[in-house]
Amino acid sequence: MTARTSDVAPRSAEAGARARGALDASDAAGRVGDVARVPVAAIVLTYNEERTLPECLAALSGWVEQLFVVDSGSTDRTVAIARAAGAVVVEHPFEHYGAQRNWAIDHLPITAPWTLHVDADERITPELRRSIARALVDDAAEETSGFLMSRRTMFMGRWIRHGGHYPAWHLRLIRTGAGRCEDRLYDQHFYVTGAVRKLQGDLIDTLTPDVATFTARHLRWAALEAAEHESPHGAAGRIRGRLATDNAIEQRRWMRDGYDRLPLFVRPTAYFLYRYFVRLGFLDGRAGLVFHVLQGFWFRFLVDALIFERRLRRAKE
């Protein structure tokens, strides 16, 4: 899937020079990539994220050129925390993640040549931060439209390493003006025009503070996924799955398209067995058992139940 691009090429040399300056300054301080700013604008979406936002912003403050928080009506201390961290806070009603991310791309006053998209419950590791700084000074950066980073899922305090869940590559660092987010109700990914490369270091995703919050969120997402099932594959603004590619997101979408063609209720069962036994999910311990059952089976079985319910309702009309 490709996106419309703006004239981003003239920014490449300037961005490289600024990133090289950041590395030089950091090297002089003896800490590569830890001090100086990198030509990146970070965007964080929030809604009542007072528990997770401080760590997220702390991992971004001091090295990105611009820091934006797009809030959708938080009633806790989220906005105050964001402003105290030096972020520019913009409020916009939430429709769904894809729409909110694209609104931010279209309306925020981004001047940095690169844009980094982060969720409030995620944080950039120091290794990933240094990898970003190094990547932007590489000569190949001028021919690159986006960078993939590996998400490290944390659940009940445990790193979920198995079950095909790590590494899970996500396109989050995008040349400004060269990318969009899929127009999907759930499971959206960013896409760009041009080449993508992989970064070293992880994006840590600390899933919900308790099981109650985890299941409540997945109840909402299951309804969105069931509604998304009615949308045609290959619609505009969506990534097309391909197996014969080195793009990890297109490969994963190809596998997801195959999953969607399987019979209801059979597919979550088969997926869980594959993920837990074939892909060694059982090595993630008891916390992993809870995670793989809830996220790999219960959530997907619930999606199928909602799809089945929708079909029954239509049959009665």
Could you tell me the CATH number of the domain that includes residue 148? Answer: 3.90.550.10
Q: Based on the fold, state whether residues 163 and 25 are members of the same structural domain.
A: yes
Q: Which stretch of DSSP H or E encloses residue 308?
A: helix 299-316
Please report which confidence band the pLDDT of residue 38 belongs to, taking 50, 70 and 90 as the band edges.
very high
Maximum average pLDDT range among 20-34, 72-86, 139-153: 72-86
Residue 204 has a pLDDT of 97
Both tokens of residue 87?
């972020």
Of the candidates 115, 11, 28, the one whose C-alpha atom is nearest the C-alpha of residue 66 is: 115
Q: Based on the fold, state whether residues 33 and 51 are members of the same structural domain.
A: yes
Residue 130 has a pLDDT of 96
- Answer for the pair 166, 150: CB distance below 8 angstroms, yes or no: yes
Q: Which stretch of DSSP H or E encloses residue 158?
A: strand 158-159
Residue 220 has a pLDDT of 94
Q: Is residue 2 part of a domain?
A: no
Query: 206, 221, 250 — which closes off a domain?
Result: 206
- Answer for the pair 196, 148: CB distance below 8 angstroms, yes or no: yes
Straight-line distance from the first to the last Cα atom of the chain, in angstroms, rounded to the nearest whole number: 37
pLDDT > 70 in the chain, percent: 87
Give the mean model confidence (pLDDT) for residues 287-315: 97
Q: Is residue 136 part of a domain?
A: yes
Residue 250 has a pLDDT of 87
Query: 206, 236, 270 — which closes off a domain?
Result: 206
Both tokens of residue 160?
């979920």
Q: How far is CA 38 from CA 41, 63, 179, in A?
A: 9, 6, 19
Q: What residues make up the domain containing 269?
A: 211-316
Q: Based on the fold, state whether residues 198 and 226 are members of the same structural domain.
A: no
Q: Based on the fold, state whether residues 260 and 143 are members of the same structural domain.
A: no
- Answer for the pair 180, 190: CB distance below 8 angstroms, yes or no: yes
Q: Based on the fold, state whether residues 225 and 200 are members of the same structural domain.
A: no
Query: 206, 239, 263 — which closes off a domain?
Result: 206
Domain count, the chain: 2
Give the mean model confidence (pLDDT) for residues 255-263: 92
Please report which confidence band the pLDDT of residue 23 belongs to, taking 50, 70 and 90 as the band edges.
low
Cα angle 289, 290, 296; round to 5: 85
Q: Is residue 113 part of a domain?
A: yes
Q: Is residue 257 part of a domain?
A: yes
Q: Based on the fold, state whether residues 200 and 238 are members of the same structural domain.
A: no
Q: Is residue 5 part of a domain?
A: no
Residue 119 CA to chain centroid, in angstroms?
7
Q: Based on the fold, state whether residues 191 and 44 are members of the same structural domain.
A: yes
3-state secondary structure of 236: coil
Q: Based on the fold, state whether residues 174 and 28 are members of the same structural domain.
A: yes
Q: Which stretch of DSSP H or E encloses residue 100?
A: helix 97-107
- Answer for the pair 151, 171: CB distance below 8 angstroms, yes or no: no
Residue 297 has a pLDDT of 98
Q: How far apart are CA 96 and CA 183, in angstroms?
A: 9
What integer best gives the mean pLDDT of the chain?
89
pLDDT digits (tens, 9 = 90+) for 44-70: 999 999 999 999 999 999 999 999 999
Indicate the pTM of the whole model. Answer: 0.86
Q: Based on the fold, state whether residues 217 and 68 are members of the same structural domain.
A: no
pLDDT > 90 in the chain, percent: 73
Q: Based on the fold, state whether residues 169 and 22 are members of the same structural domain.
A: yes
Q: Is residue 162 part of a domain?
A: yes
Residue 229 has a pLDDT of 86
The DSSP symbol for 72 reads: S
Look at residue 42 and tell me whether its pLDDT is greater than 90. Answer: yes
Q: Based on the fold, state whether residues 31 and 166 are members of the same structural domain.
A: yes
Q: Is residue 138 part of a domain?
A: yes
Q: Is residue 4 part of a domain?
A: no
Q: How far apart are CA 39 and CA 42, in angstroms?
A: 10
Residue 3 has a pLDDT of 40
Residue 199 CA to chain centroid, in angstroms?
14
Residue 22 has a pLDDT of 55
Look at residue 202 and tell me whether its pLDDT is greater than 60. Answer: yes
- Furthest CA-CA distance within the chain: 72
- Answer for the pair 187, 168: CB distance below 8 angstroms, yes or no: no
Look at residue 32 and tell me whether its pLDDT is greater than 50. Answer: no
Sign for the pseudo-dihedral over CA of 47, 51, 55, 57: positive
Q: Based on the fold, state whether residues 151 and 227 are members of the same structural domain.
A: no
Q: Which of 17-21, 102-106, 291-295 is predicted least confidently? A: 17-21
